[in-house]
Structure formats: structure tokens, C-alpha cells
Amino acid sequence: MAEELAVAIRLANQKVKFSGTARGNPPIVMDYFPPLGDGEGYTGLEMLLMSLAGCSASTVVPLLRRMKKTVAGFQVQARGVRREQHPTAFEKIFLEFVLVSPDATAEDLQKAIQMSEENFCPVWSMLKNSAVITYEAKVNP
């Protein structure tokens, strides 16, 4: 049987500020830019970029550790370029992976990212058919 995930979003003010929760975790505030919203939370597209960055990070790091590489630090930055016409979905997404490791090589990181993209990150799998996703990977000692 397929695993089901569930979230709840509730209106938090008289504009478009929402509070979202899942599995009893602390709420996340979503809002939009003024004048539609007050800008007091993340937009849906910012949340989507965070979801892609978080999903890829949470697959790349364990893959590196399975390769017996030290992960002293890891960061993913994501930027998206939106279409001009509505709906203003992302047409391009750029990811920057930065690994801090005394023993991992650029090839190790590249392999883990490719495995994440092709096999393990469901968010990347969903988005790559609707936006061009490119990335850069760096290893710092």
C-alpha cells in the first residue's frame, strides 16, 4: 500500500497568511507579498525551493556517508526563475551544493547528487519534468 502524507493549512489573518502543520511539528507560516499579503511568511514557491533543497540534501548526505566520506558541513542554496505569464511557475531552478569534507572529492559529491536526482529525491523527480534544473557542486576541505 502506498504511503500517504498529510498536512493542514489554516488561515491565520484577514489576508492570505496561513499556518501549516504536519505530524505535530511546529507550524510554518506562509504568506504573500503586499498588498495581497503582509510578507510575514514564506511564499509557496519559496517553500517549493526549500523542499527541493531539503529533499536533495537529505538524500545526498546519507549517500556520502555510505561512501564512508566525512560530512563536516553541507549546504544547498536554491534559486528559481519564474515564467512571466500566469501561472508564474518556475521555468529554471539552480542548485548550489557545498560540502565541507576532509576526504570527499568532487567526483564523490557529483555521484551522490546524480543518485539523488535519478533515484532518491522525490521532489527533484516531480520538478524536473516541469522546470530545467541545473546545479553546481563544490567541496571544501
pTM: 0.93
| Nearest residue to 101 (alpha-carbon basis) of 137, 49, 125, 51 | 137
Pair (17, 61) in one structural domain:
no
Quick: pLDDT tens for 34-62: 999 999 999 999 999 999 999 999 999 99
- DSSP alpha helix (H) spans, 3-121: 44-66, 106-115
Pair (90, 115) in one structural domain:
yes
Pair (69, 97) in one structural domain:
yes
Pair (63, 124) in one structural domain:
yes
The whole-angstrom separation of Cα 94 and Cα 79 is 5
Pair (117, 48) in one structural domain:
yes
Radius of gyration of the chain (CA): 17
For the chain, list residues with pLDDT below 50.
Answer: none
Pair (32, 95) in one structural domain:
no
Do residues 48 and 54 lie in contact, with contact meaning Cβ atoms separated by under 8 Å?
no
CA dihedral 126, 129, 135, 139 (to 10 degrees): 40
Range of the domain at 98: 44-140
